[in-house]
Amino acid sequence: MSDGSGDRENSGNTWRKATQLVRGGMARSAFQETSEALYLTSGYVYGSPEEAEAAFKGETKRYIYSRYANPTVSMFEQRLALLEGAAFCVGMASGMAAMFAAIACQVKAGDRVVASRALFGSCNYVLTELLPKYGVETVLVDGTDLDQWRDALKKPTVCVFMETPSNPTLEIIDIAAVSELAHAAGARVIVDNVFATAVLQSPLKLGADIVMYSATKHIDGQGRTMGGAILFDDEAYMKDFLEPFFRHTGPSMSPFNAWVMLKGLETLDIRVDRHCDNAERVAAFLAAQPRINKVIYPGLASHPQHALAKRQMGRGGTMVSFEVDGGKAGAFAFLKALKLIDISNNLGDSKSLTTHPTTTTHQRLSEEDRLDLGITPGLVRLSVGLEDAEDIKDDLGQALAAVG
């Protein structure tokens, strides 16, 4: 495909990460625009019926229909693929579209899926309610316990799904160790890398087969649009499973959203780094507060998998969870007293956002399951934003004073 960029074209493979994030995947039109063009088109025209025939037979590679592919979405996919170091990237309408497609495209009735039990609420629904309806058996294990993985993976398994760090208790799963066990059971390993981001963690390099993102979170990074992505190296997974699935079921990414996400990718590394700076300072501050029973942050030495987190992730991440004294009443009094930090279930935003998992994202679970996962009534999840860390700390401090 001609992109008009002439001999300045560079696929980006030889560039360093920061350069890839700004320029990777750029395909200029004949107008030589500086910024990525937004192609708001559902279809594409053919010069002749022969050209259309050849395109549908797959003899020529070109854009056919935006449910299959779109030039703006392709630029997003190429840029993210460069960052991840993956051969393939497929943009999706949302993180959940990505999660569902990544699994649903490869399983059939009678198959088995093993997953970690500490999951984003909707991922839990897909695994424990939706897939069983189609005759797929799903087994949940404590992701931090390798013996449970070993046990569950004694039987042939098609696919393994895990989220690390997990939502909202920030458990860390050993991607390399679980991948080894999963491969012995014949399973493809999918990692939901939303909390870590591609900047901090590279699951494919640790042995996973497929990485998925909610681009809605850190990739957009400013809370504007929904999006998702699936990344992998295996061409057979693309040809035999994912490509036919997404072409015919239509979880495609909107070109407008891809255009916003391309802008997000340009600053992803800088933002994630600053989010981590702030999260480290906020976690240390909270750990010293008398009205906080517990602080969960992978970058703190007190985190149960701190050593693994250090090995597997570049830094401690952008999320901090903590237990406010006084259960639900204490947590609610604290949330109501916040003046700067917003109450919102979104995360990875430039604005600091906080949520009460027991009554929102995880209210669907039974109380027993929640407590089993460490989601206590006093637990609060904080997505640390890009404001001045001193202002975030001041707001947390004044709100905690109100709890007493």
Ligand X SMILES: *Cc1c(COP(=O)(O)O)cnc(C)c1O
Count CB atoms within 10 A of the CB of residue 14. Answer: 8
Q: Kindly state the tokens that stand for 196.
A: 């870590």
226 binds ligand X (CB under 6 A): yes
Burial of 20 (C-beta count, 10 Å sphere; 0-12/13-18/19+): buried
What is the rounded CA–CA span in Å between residue 256 and residue 244?
Answer: 23
DSSP 87: S
Taking a C-beta distance cutoff of 8 angstroms, is the pair 158, 112 a contact?
A: yes
Binding residue for ligand X (CB under 6 A) from 95, 143, 221, 264?
95
> How far, CA to CA in Å, does 381 sit from each of 124, 279, 344?
18, 12, 10
Pairing status of strand 379-383 against strand 319-324: antiparallel
DSSP-assigned letter for residue 6: G
Q: Does 123 sit near ligand X (CB under 6 A)?
A: yes
In this chain, which stretch among 90-98, 100-108, 132-140, 313-321 interacts with ligand X, using CB under 6 A? 90-98
Strands 188-192 and 342-343: unpaired
Q: Which two tokens stand for residue 341?
A: 């930090």
For the bound state, the minimum distance from the C-beta of residue 208 to ligand X, rounded and expressed in Å, comes to 15
Stretch that binds ligand X, among 43-51, 119-127, 177-185, 349-357 (CB under 6 A): 119-127
Residue 171 is a binding residue for ligand X (CB under 6 A):
no
* Residue 18 phi, psi dihedral angles, 5° rounding: -60, -35
Is 96 one of the binding residues for ligand X (CB under 6 A)?
yes
Interface residue with ligand X among 216, 257, 352, 354 (CB under 6 A) is: 216
- Residues 106, 164, 179, 214: which binds ligand X (CB under 6 A)? 214
Q: How far apart are CA 400 and CA 296, in angstroms?
A: 17
**In the complex, minimum distance from the CB of residue 215 to ligand X, in angstroms, rounded to a whole number:** 7
Q: Which is nearer to ligand X, 223 or 327 (CB)?
A: 223
Strand ranges (E), 60-217: 88-92, 112-116, 137-141, 159-163, 188-192, 210-214
Range in contact with ligand X (rule: CB under 6 A) among 75-83, 89-97, 177-185, 232-240: 89-97
Nearer to ligand X, 94 or 289 (CB): 94
Parallel, antiparallel or unpaired: strands 228-232 and 88-92: antiparallel
Min dist. Cβ of residue 223 to ligand X (A): 12
The minimum distance between CB 224 and ligand X, in angstroms, equals 12
Our finding on whether 161 is near ligand X (CB under 6 A) is no
Cβ closest to ligand X, residue 19 vs residue 363: 363
Give the Cβ contact number of residue 65 at 10 Å: 14
312-325 burial, b if ≥16 CB within 10 A, otherwise e? bbbbbbbbbbbbbb
For the segment 265-324, give every residue that binds ligand X (CB under 6 A): none
Size of the site for ligand X (CB under 6 A): 17
Residue 59 Cβ vs ligand X, minimum distance, rounded to whole Å? 36
The sheet carrying 112-116 orders its strands as 88-92, 228-232, 210-214, 188-192, 159-163, 112-116, 137-141
73, 194, 229, 313: which one contacts ligand X (CB under 6 A)? 194
Closer to ligand X at the Cβ: 167 or 289? 167
Span of 129-137, 146-154, 192-200, 395-403 interacting with ligand X by CB under 6 A? 192-200
- Closest distance between ligand X and the C-beta of residue 92, in Å? 9
Q: Which is nearer to ligand X, 142 or 394 (CB)?
A: 142
Residue 376 within binding range of ligand X, rule CB under 6 A:
no
Shortest CB 318 distance to ligand X, Å: 11
Q: What residues form DSSP beta bridges with 65? A: 43
228 touches ligand X (CB under 6 A): yes
Name the closest residue to ligand X (Cβ). 95
Chain positions contacting ligand X, by CB under 6 A: 94-96, 99, 120, 122-123, 163, 167, 192, 194-195, 214, 216-217, 226, 228
